[in-house]
Chains A and B, each alone.
Chain A
Amino acid sequence: MTPGVAAAAFAVGVVLVVAMFLVFAAYNDVVALERRADKAWANIDVVLKQRWDELPNLVAAVRGVMRFEEDVLANVTRLRAAYAPEAAVRDQAATSQATTSAVRQLLAVVERYPALRSAANVLEMQHEIERLENLIADRRELYNDQVYRLNARIGQVPAVWLAGVFGWQPRPSFTTAAEPTVREPTKVALG
């Protein structure tokens, strides 16, 4: 082998090593991102299930005093029944968002009943529900961030070339169709 051929082989070898590294790294990164998105979703699911378990206790605790607010209680109960862990992410997001709104409405109504506000068990449940709602919000943010990273990675070179081979698909974020991704700026009239 002449020195020229050896140098050319060396150059091709280095370029190949770099290319192979980028391909392997892209594959490993996408697999890791998919696992993280799965885990982030599982962490949301755990809290949704906890909220599903807690809601009947809250409704039962306030039902006796709030008999004139039957529609509020019925709304919470109906949305709790709509919880379906096997449903599509977007459907679960819509149900979760509606449940959160109904729970907030219920807790706002509870504020009008001094007897309930001061009841230790109601207070305790109220704090627990609020804790779960905050947890859902935090974990939803993390899940959406993780999905964004995964979808962005799949769309980049060289992962975009591998996506067809390995069947990588962009994933939906945990948002409802009704939630606009870009909000209209608030119009303020001056003068």
Chain B
Amino acid sequence: MISCTEFIPAYSEGFKFLEKKGGFGEVQEFWNHLSDLYLESSLKKLVSEMGIRGCYIYWKKALSEEAADYIISLDEDKGEFRIDMRWCPSKGMLNELDYMEAYDKYCLHCPALYSRVLEPLGYSFEMDLSRTDRAQCTAIIKKKDLEG
């Protein structure tokens, strides 16, 4: 069995496997595939129906189930949603598994998966990945026509 609690190392190994098969382009291709299949009925549906609040609902559930350490903030007037990740359980787990070499571009899967869904709905998705060695990051999603 691969428990859902063991998925992150399996995911990381999957990215390494795909990169070995077809380069980084192949990994990106998989991320696109996953985004189209997996986020269609969750994030895409929520944001299509509820606007920026859909992001708040989606990540509140997902990050709670993942036992992340975070602050999320929603400003509907400004059309902005923000995630301040103080400890990402996925990256944190990979950092702690020192006997395994994590995929070096692991954290790039987040912007790849989410921007593909959000951009066509009229939202920008920006991430600061400069602190992933501490399992920290920031993501900001903004309604494009309200950006100023």
Is B truly associated with A? no
Interface residues of A (CB under 8 A from B): none
